[in-house]
Chain A
Amino acid sequence: MDRFTVTVDPLNASAIAAAVSSPRCGAVATFIGLVRDHNAGRRVEWLDYEAYPALAVKTFERIGSEAAERWPSVALAIHHRMGRIAIGEASVVIAAASPHRADAFAACRYAIERVKQIAPVWKHEHFEGGDVWIEGATADPDDEAAKQAAFERACS
Protein backbone atom coordinates (compact mmCIF):
# COMPACT_ATOMS: atom_id res chain seq x y z
CA MET A 1 0.00 0.00 0.00
CA ASP A 2 1.25 3.52 -0.84
CA ARG A 3 1.96 5.55 2.26
CA PHE A 4 0.86 8.84 0.69
CA THR A 5 -2.13 8.89 -1.60
CA VAL A 6 -5.40 10.45 -2.71
CA THR A 7 -8.24 8.18 -3.73
CA VAL A 8 -11.95 8.23 -4.52
CA ASP A 9 -12.39 4.94 -2.66
CA PRO A 10 -13.53 4.67 0.98
CA LEU A 11 -10.62 4.77 3.44
CA ASN A 12 -9.74 1.79 5.61
CA ALA A 13 -8.02 3.08 8.73
CA SER A 14 -7.05 -0.38 9.97
CA ALA A 15 -5.30 -1.22 6.72
CA ILE A 16 -3.47 2.12 6.69
CA ALA A 17 -2.37 1.63 10.31
CA ALA A 18 -1.17 -1.87 9.46
CA ALA A 19 0.83 -0.50 6.52
CA VAL A 20 3.04 1.63 8.79
CA SER A 21 3.33 -0.82 11.67
CA SER A 22 6.34 -3.09 12.09
CA PRO A 23 7.87 -5.30 14.78
CA ARG A 24 9.96 -2.40 16.11
CA CYS A 25 6.81 -0.32 16.75
CA GLY A 26 5.06 -0.34 20.10
CA ALA A 27 2.51 2.28 19.08
CA VAL A 28 0.51 3.43 16.11
CA ALA A 29 -1.56 6.60 16.41
CA THR A 30 -4.32 7.13 13.86
CA PHE A 31 -6.32 10.23 13.06
CA ILE A 32 -9.58 9.81 11.15
CA GLY A 33 -11.17 13.00 9.82
CA LEU A 34 -14.94 12.55 9.40
CA VAL A 35 -17.55 14.50 7.48
CA ARG A 36 -19.63 16.33 10.09
CA ASP A 37 -23.34 17.15 9.83
CA HIS A 38 -22.96 20.83 10.75
CA ASN A 39 -20.62 23.71 10.03
CA ALA A 40 -20.85 27.42 10.85
CA GLY A 41 -24.51 27.11 11.80
CA ARG A 42 -25.42 25.20 8.62
CA ARG A 43 -26.86 21.70 8.34
CA VAL A 44 -24.36 19.93 6.13
CA GLU A 45 -25.73 17.27 3.77
CA TRP A 46 -22.48 16.07 2.22
CA LEU A 47 -19.03 17.26 1.19
CA ASP A 48 -17.48 17.06 -2.22
CA TYR A 49 -13.67 17.06 -2.03
CA GLU A 50 -11.55 18.29 -4.89
CA ALA A 51 -7.77 17.86 -5.04
CA TYR A 52 -4.80 18.50 -7.27
CA PRO A 53 -3.80 14.85 -6.99
CA ALA A 54 -0.19 14.95 -8.19
CA LEU A 55 0.69 17.93 -6.01
CA ALA A 56 -1.30 16.53 -3.08
CA VAL A 57 0.74 13.33 -3.07
CA LYS A 58 3.98 15.31 -3.27
CA THR A 59 2.77 17.52 -0.44
CA PHE A 60 1.98 14.48 1.72
CA GLU A 61 5.48 13.16 0.99
CA ARG A 62 6.88 16.51 2.01
CA ILE A 63 4.93 16.38 5.28
CA GLY A 64 6.35 12.89 5.75
CA SER A 65 9.88 14.26 5.32
CA GLU A 66 9.23 17.10 7.76
CA ALA A 67 7.91 14.62 10.32
CA ALA A 68 10.89 12.33 9.77
CA GLU A 69 13.28 15.21 10.55
CA ARG A 70 11.60 15.83 13.89
CA TRP A 71 10.64 12.26 14.77
CA PRO A 72 13.11 9.98 12.97
CA SER A 73 11.64 6.79 14.41
CA VAL A 74 8.13 7.45 13.05
CA ALA A 75 6.65 5.77 9.96
CA LEU A 76 3.83 7.95 8.59
CA ALA A 77 0.98 7.46 6.14
CA ILE A 78 -1.50 10.04 4.84
CA HIS A 79 -4.50 9.00 2.75
CA HIS A 80 -7.04 11.59 1.61
CA ARG A 81 -10.31 10.80 -0.08
CA MET A 82 -11.76 12.86 -2.95
CA GLY A 83 -15.23 13.17 -4.42
CA ARG A 84 -18.58 13.08 -2.68
CA ILE A 85 -18.38 11.88 0.92
CA ALA A 86 -21.39 11.26 3.13
CA ILE A 87 -21.86 12.41 6.72
CA GLY A 88 -19.95 10.14 9.09
CA GLU A 89 -17.55 8.82 6.45
CA ALA A 90 -13.80 9.37 6.62
CA SER A 91 -12.25 12.07 4.45
CA VAL A 92 -8.69 11.63 5.67
CA VAL A 93 -6.73 9.00 7.58
CA ILE A 94 -3.29 9.57 9.07
CA ALA A 95 -1.32 6.80 10.74
CA ALA A 96 1.96 7.27 12.61
CA ALA A 97 3.83 4.28 14.01
CA SER A 98 6.86 4.41 16.27
CA PRO A 99 8.60 2.44 19.02
CA HIS A 100 6.93 4.60 21.71
CA ARG A 101 3.58 6.37 21.87
CA ALA A 102 4.71 9.95 22.44
CA ASP A 103 6.35 10.26 19.03
CA ALA A 104 3.44 8.53 17.31
CA PHE A 105 0.88 10.92 18.80
CA ALA A 106 3.00 13.99 18.08
CA ALA A 107 3.79 13.09 14.47
CA CYS A 108 0.16 12.20 13.78
CA ARG A 109 -1.03 15.57 15.10
CA TYR A 110 1.71 17.42 13.23
CA ALA A 111 0.69 15.71 9.98
CA ILE A 112 -2.98 16.68 10.17
CA GLU A 113 -2.08 20.27 11.04
CA ARG A 114 0.21 20.43 8.00
CA VAL A 115 -2.42 18.80 5.76
CA LYS A 116 -4.80 21.59 6.71
CA GLN A 117 -2.15 24.23 6.03
CA ILE A 118 -0.65 23.11 2.72
CA ALA A 119 -2.40 20.15 1.05
CA PRO A 120 -4.01 21.21 -2.26
CA VAL A 121 -7.44 19.86 -1.31
CA TRP A 122 -10.75 21.74 -1.14
CA LYS A 123 -14.10 21.06 0.52
CA HIS A 124 -17.23 21.95 -1.40
CA GLU A 125 -19.88 21.97 1.29
CA HIS A 126 -23.43 21.10 0.32
CA PHE A 127 -25.77 22.22 3.05
CA GLU A 128 -29.51 22.55 3.49
CA GLY A 129 -30.38 25.35 1.07
CA GLY A 130 -27.12 25.86 -0.80
CA ASP A 131 -23.46 25.11 -1.29
CA VAL A 132 -20.19 26.88 -0.57
CA TRP A 133 -16.49 26.33 -1.14
CA ILE A 134 -14.62 26.25 2.14
CA GLU A 135 -11.41 28.27 2.00
CA GLY A 136 -8.90 28.08 4.83
CA ALA A 137 -5.19 28.74 4.62
CA THR A 138 -3.20 30.11 1.70
CA ALA A 139 -0.89 27.18 1.05
CA ASP A 140 2.79 28.04 1.44
CA PRO A 141 4.98 25.05 2.36
CA ASP A 142 7.97 27.34 3.01
CA ASP A 143 6.15 29.42 5.63
CA GLU A 144 8.27 28.66 8.69
CA ALA A 145 5.79 30.31 11.10
CA ALA A 146 3.05 27.91 9.95
CA LYS A 147 5.39 24.95 10.34
CA GLN A 148 6.29 26.10 13.83
CA ALA A 149 2.60 26.51 14.74
CA ALA A 150 1.93 22.94 13.60
CA PHE A 151 4.87 21.70 15.62
CA GLU A 152 3.70 23.52 18.74
CA ARG A 153 0.20 22.05 18.42
CA ALA A 154 1.72 18.61 17.99
CA CYS A 155 3.78 18.94 21.14
CA SER A 156 1.36 20.78 23.42
Chain B
Amino acid sequence: MFVTVRLFARLRELAGASELRRELPDGAVARTAWESLVRDHAALAEYEPVISCAVNEEYARLTTPLKQGDEVAFLPPVSGG
Protein backbone atom coordinates (compact mmCIF):
# COMPACT_ATOMS: atom_id res chain seq x y z
CA MET B 1 0.00 0.00 0.00
CA PHE B 2 1.00 3.61 -0.48
CA VAL B 3 0.50 6.22 2.22
CA THR B 4 1.31 9.91 2.48
CA VAL B 5 3.46 10.89 5.42
CA ARG B 6 3.38 14.45 6.74
CA LEU B 7 6.03 15.91 9.00
CA PHE B 8 6.06 19.14 10.95
CA ALA B 9 8.49 21.54 12.58
CA ARG B 10 11.82 19.94 13.54
CA LEU B 11 10.81 16.54 12.12
CA ARG B 12 10.16 18.21 8.77
CA GLU B 13 13.59 19.81 8.87
CA LEU B 14 15.38 16.59 9.85
CA ALA B 15 13.74 14.66 7.01
CA GLY B 16 14.12 17.54 4.55
CA ALA B 17 10.49 17.23 3.43
CA SER B 18 7.04 18.09 4.71
CA GLU B 19 5.32 15.37 2.72
CA LEU B 20 6.57 11.96 1.57
CA ARG B 21 4.99 9.02 -0.15
CA ARG B 22 5.90 5.62 1.30
CA GLU B 23 5.15 2.10 0.20
CA LEU B 24 4.36 -0.11 3.19
CA PRO B 25 3.55 -3.80 3.53
CA ASP B 26 -0.01 -5.02 4.12
CA GLY B 27 -0.83 -4.99 7.79
CA ALA B 28 1.22 -1.84 8.36
CA VAL B 29 0.43 0.37 11.33
CA ALA B 30 1.53 3.95 11.98
CA ARG B 31 4.70 2.68 13.64
CA THR B 32 5.62 0.85 10.41
CA ALA B 33 5.58 4.18 8.57
CA TRP B 34 7.69 5.79 11.29
CA GLU B 35 10.26 2.98 11.18
CA SER B 36 10.43 3.28 7.42
CA LEU B 37 11.24 6.99 7.80
CA VAL B 38 13.88 6.38 10.45
CA ARG B 39 15.68 3.95 8.13
CA ASP B 40 16.16 6.80 5.65
CA HIS B 41 16.58 9.61 8.17
CA ALA B 42 18.43 8.28 11.21
CA ALA B 43 18.32 11.66 12.96
CA LEU B 44 14.58 11.16 13.49
CA ALA B 45 15.18 8.22 15.82
CA GLU B 46 15.75 10.33 18.92
CA TYR B 47 12.18 11.63 18.61
CA GLU B 48 10.55 8.23 18.89
CA PRO B 49 9.79 8.47 22.65
CA VAL B 50 8.08 11.85 22.30
CA ILE B 51 6.22 11.89 18.98
CA SER B 52 2.48 11.96 18.51
CA CYS B 53 0.81 10.71 15.38
CA ALA B 54 -2.35 11.41 13.45
CA VAL B 55 -4.05 9.38 10.75
CA ASN B 56 -6.31 11.17 8.26
CA GLU B 57 -6.27 14.36 10.34
CA GLU B 58 -7.30 12.69 13.61
CA TYR B 59 -5.03 11.91 16.54
CA ALA B 60 -4.10 8.23 16.48
CA ARG B 61 -1.73 5.72 18.08
CA LEU B 62 1.43 4.18 16.68
CA THR B 63 -0.56 0.93 16.71
CA THR B 64 -3.33 2.37 14.49
CA PRO B 65 -3.68 0.26 11.30
CA LEU B 66 -3.07 2.00 7.98
CA LYS B 67 -4.74 1.41 4.65
CA GLN B 68 -4.04 2.41 1.07
CA GLY B 69 -4.16 6.17 0.58
CA ASP B 70 -4.07 7.13 4.25
CA GLU B 71 -2.34 10.28 5.42
CA VAL B 72 -0.22 9.64 8.49
CA ALA B 73 1.39 12.58 10.29
CA PHE B 74 4.13 12.57 12.91
CA LEU B 75 4.25 15.44 15.34
CA PRO B 76 7.10 16.54 17.62
CA PRO B 77 6.11 17.87 21.08
CA VAL B 78 3.82 20.84 20.59
CA SER B 79 4.42 24.45 21.61
CA GLY B 80 1.41 26.48 20.61
CA GLY B 81 -0.06 29.39 22.48
Residues of A within 8 A of B (CB): 33, 49-52, 54-56, 58-59, 80, 91-92, 112, 115-124, 133-142
Residues of B within 8 A of A (CB): 6, 8-10, 12-13, 50-52, 54, 57-59, 73, 75-81
Cβ of A68 to closest chain B Cβ, rounded Å: 19
Of A92, A124, A140, A141, which is within 8 A of B80 by CB? A92
Interface of A is mostly: mixed
CB-CB < 8 A to A135: which residues of B?
9-10, 50, 76-79
Of A118, A124, A142, which is within 8 A of B78 by CB? A118
Interface of B is mostly: mixed
Q: Knowing A50-B9, A133-B9, say if A139 contacts B78 (CB, 8 Å).
A: yes
> 6 pairs across A/B with beta carbons < 8 Å?
A112-B81, A116-B79, A120-B78, A133-B10, A138-B77, A139-B78
Of B12, B50, B57, which is within 8 A of A58 by CB? B57
Evaluate contact between A52 and B77: CB separation under 8 angstroms.
Answer: no
Evaluate contact between A136 and B54: CB separation under 8 angstroms.
Answer: no
